[in-house]
């Protein structure tokens, strides 16, 4: 099954991407791996004011744990 590409320039670029003979459609995996690593790096190091993704995640996780403990002790309704 061949995917139809309607844009001739896109088809040209995809056909010229190296590794077609040996890796087939998997030749794009290194590019996606690098893009994923760049996204992860930006989530760790990109700060908006004083917060970034991981600080926000850790804060939310701590709130959820504290809320669960309060519910287990019967101090808050479930």
What pLDDT score was predicted for residue 4? 64
Tell me the domain boundaries of the chain: 1-46, 50-78
Tokens of 44: 């760790």
Buried b / exposed e over 33-50, threshold 16 CB at 10 Å, is eeeeeeeeeeeeeeeeee
| The pLDDT value given to residue 2 | 61
Question: Which tokens go with 6?
Answer: 């309607």
pLDDT in tens, the chain (78 residues): 466 657 888 888 888 989 888 988 899 999 999 999 999 998 888 888 888 888 888 999 999 999 999 988 888 777
pTM for the full predicted model: 0.58
């Amino acid at each position: 099954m061949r995917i139809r590409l309607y844009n001739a320039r896109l088809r040209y670029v995809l056909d010229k991407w190296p590794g077609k003979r040996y890796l087939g459609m998997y030749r794009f995996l290194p590019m996606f791996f690098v893009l994923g690593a760049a996204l992860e790096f930006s989530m760790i190091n990109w700060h908006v004011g004083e917060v970034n993704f991981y600080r926000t995640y850790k804060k939310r996780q701590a709130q959820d744990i504290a809320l669960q403990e309060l519910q287990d002790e019967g101090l808050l309704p479930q």
